Amino acid sequence: MASTPTPVAPIPLIDWTVLGQVLAVSLALGIGLVAVFSLGLTALSFARNESASPLSRTLGRLGVAVTALGVATVLAWGFYIITQKG
Amino acid sequence: MHNTFVLILVVGAALVFDFTNGFHDTANSVAPTIATGALKPRVAVAYSAILHVVGAFLSLKVAATIANSIVQQDLVTLPIVFGGLAGAITWNVLTWYFGLPSSSSHALIGGVVGAMLASVGTDGVIWRGIMAKVFVPGIIAPVIAIAVAGLATLISRRATQHLDDGSRTLGMRVGQIGASGLMSIAHGTNDAQKTMGIITLALVANGTLISTAEVPATVPGWVVLACAVAMASGTFIGGWRIIRTLGHGLTTLDSTAGFAAQMSSAVVILTSSHLGLALSTTYVSTGSVIGTGVATKGRKVHWNVAGRVVFAWLVTLPAAGLVGALAYAGESVFGASGGAVAVGLVVAALAATIFARSRKGKVDMHNVNEPWKSEVLPDSSPSAA
């Protein structure tokens, strides 16, 4: 066991830049993802509605595809972060 | 210093801590999923446990330091590590009994700080590091989570207001299951690695593993497997009391709020981790659930329960630190080996007593979703008032 402590580099109490980035990215991604998913559910209901117009149903399918792509991208991003960090 | 007996005790204590970490933090991943009925309780914890194993194997970039930037790393010894683990295990079991979601990582930091104070005094502790890595993130985490989850809930309700209840509930439940999976994998990677780091450091400190600046020690395969199994077992057991508090005690969750809370938690945790500002999973998950309650018209947040949770957060560090210091003092009195055995027996007896008491007022998968009155114990529990 060593007997004397070694000097340590000063630790910043708050890194405002990182904090701002965390807040901005979390707000954008968190809200964005939930919003896209919610809109995707609405699009799905249009796509499955037999009485809706062909245009509505096509737009609904497009919405579902965009949502699926968005969710898949975020999941891939999540896995990337999990595997990259220590 | 070679002391294989103490090393074995430290490895055992680390795995017990990993197990308590699993059942204590299960709620962070699955509480809203269970509360809204997206998955049945046993299925939810089994799903989470499997993904914790996957997470533990996903990345092996071990943070091979205990309480890095919190204590002087070169002064950390096996008895200090053991004292820290004793403090963390005790605090985890105690807060589980009261159904309080508190940070297992902060409990471990508190235990190590307490043992370090008892060992070398205040010179061994980096107080600014405690402020920067424990107190400041402890304030920031729930605030960010409340903001993100609250806004996400508002927007989600607005976006799905024209959907029929059945379609909305089904869709949101699917989203909840996905978000819960992401949280489980992230938690498995993060927290299992902490225990891997502790065991690896203990092996290096004992001379069992060689580590140099040029060739740092790699984590042995059995350590990865043991940590993954210990955490997954704890997760599968299910910390039902904390699951009940997080799922029902803070506010009432429907599937829209549950999805918003879980997805917000996953995004905040992964983003903060990626940007180098590690936030407590527990604080973020709790903040997200409160955020959905704040943002939902006509739905109240049980602020008395939230107050108890915040109180637990405030005393985690000193309480775990006190146990850590007492544990180290015990080791000093009886010697490293005898002291570790004595401390281990005391902690085991305490945990057994608490567990026995918990059986009198049981919360399990069968009653976890009963309506919340004022306490964690549901009406069906034998000792509930």
Q: Does A68 touch chain B (CB under 8 A)?
A: no
The number of distinct structural domains making up chain B is 1
Say if A16 falls within a structural domain: no
**Considering only B200-214, B227-241, B289-303, B354-368, which range has the smallest mean pLDDT?**
B200-214
Say if A75 falls within a structural domain: yes
Residue B299, Cβ density class (10 Å: 0-12 exposed, 13-18 middle, ≥19 buried): middle
Contacts of B357 (CB under 8 A, 6+ apart): B97
The number of distinct structural domains making up chain A is 1
Say if B381 falls within a structural domain: no
- If you search the block for the tokens 């103490």, which residue do you land on? B6
Mean pLDDT score of chain A, rounded to an integer?
82
**Considering only A5-19, A23-37, B22-36, B272-286, which range has the smallest mean pLDDT?**
A5-19
- Give pLDDT, residue B135: 87
Q: Is the pLDDT of residue A5 over 60?
A: no
- Give pLDDT, residue A8: 58
Residues facing residue B71 across a β-bridge:
B125
Say if A6 falls within a structural domain: no
> Nearest chain A Cα to B183, which residue?
A78
- The DSSP call for residue A7 is P
Say if B375 falls within a structural domain: no
- Give pLDDT, residue B207: 83
The winner for highest mean pLDDT among B55-64, B169-178, B184-193 is B169-178
Mean per-residue pLDDT, A10-23:
82
Q: Is the pLDDT of residue B2 over 70?
A: no
Residue A7 pLDDT level (bands cut at 50, 70, 90)? low
Say if B378 falls within a structural domain: no
Contacts of B290 (CB under 8 A, 6+ apart): B142, B145, B146, B149, B250, B251, B301, B306
Q: Is the pLDDT of residue B384 over 60?
A: no
Residue B69 backbone zone (phi > 0: left; psi -120 to 50: alpha; other: beta): left
B72 chain-A contacts, CB cut-off 8 A: 5-6, 8
From A22, A74, A82, residue closest to B189, measured CB to CB = A82
Mean per-residue pLDDT, B187-197:
85
- If you search the block for the tokens 């795995």, which residue do you land on? B15
Q: Is the pLDDT of residue B335 over 90?
A: no
Residue of B296 and B212 predicted with greater confidence: B296
**Is A82 in contact with B185 (Cβ distance < 8 A)?**
yes
Residue A58's φ and ψ, nearest 5 degrees, are -65, -45
B75 chain-A contacts, CB cut-off 8 A: 1-2, 5
Q: Does B189 touch chain A (CB under 8 A)?
A: yes
**Is B267 in contact with A26 (Cβ distance < 8 A)?**
yes
**Is B151 in contact with A27 (Cβ distance < 8 A)?**
yes
Residue B17's φ and ψ, nearest 5 degrees, are -60, -45
Say if B139 falls within a structural domain: yes
Instruction: Among B69, B70, B254, B267, pick the best mutation site for testing chain A contact (most A Cβ within 10 A).
Output: B267
- Give pLDDT, residue B60: 64
Q: Is the pLDDT of residue A2 over 60?
A: no
Q: Is the pLDDT of residue A3 over 60?
A: no
Say if B227 falls within a structural domain: yes
Say if A62 falls within a structural domain: yes
**Considering only B29-33, B87-91, B275-279, B369-373, which range has the smallest mean pLDDT?**
B275-279
**Is A38 in contact with B160 (Cβ distance < 8 A)?**
yes
Q: Is the pLDDT of residue B184 over 80?
A: yes
Q: Is the pLDDT of residue B381 over 70?
A: no
**Considering only A3-7, B177-181, B308-312, which range has the smallest mean pLDDT?**
A3-7
State which residues form the domain around B73.
Answer: 4-360
**Considering only A4-8, A24-28, B128-132, B361-365, which range has the smallest mean pLDDT?**
A4-8
Say if A11 falls within a structural domain: no
State which residues form the domain around A35.
Answer: 25-84
- Give pLDDT, residue B43: 97
**Is B275 in contact with A6 (Cβ distance < 8 A)?**
no
Residue of B224 and A79 predicted with greater confidence: B224
- Give pLDDT, residue B385: 39
- Give pLDDT, residue B260: 96
pLDDT digits (tens, 9 = 90+) for B131-154: 888 888 888 999 999 999 999 999
Residue of B233 and A82 predicted with greater confidence: B233
Mean pLDDT score of chain B, rounded to an integer?
89
Say if A4 falls within a structural domain: no
Q: Using the Cα atoms of residue B216, residue B231, residue B375 and residue B357 in order, give the sign of their dihedral.
A: negative
Mean per-residue pLDDT, B288-292:
96
- Give pLDDT, residue A85: 56
Q: Is the pLDDT of residue A6 over 80?
A: no
Distance CA B98, CA B308 (A): 10
Say if A71 falls within a structural domain: yes
Residue of B247 and A86 predicted with greater confidence: B247
Mean per-residue pLDDT, B150-167:
92
Distance CA B86, CA B70 (A): 18
pLDDT digits (tens, 9 = 90+) for B100-133: 999 998 999 999 999 999 999 999 999 888 888 8
Q: Is the pLDDT of residue B89 over 80?
A: yes
Q: Is the pLDDT of residue B3 over 50?
A: yes
Say if A47 falls within a structural domain: yes
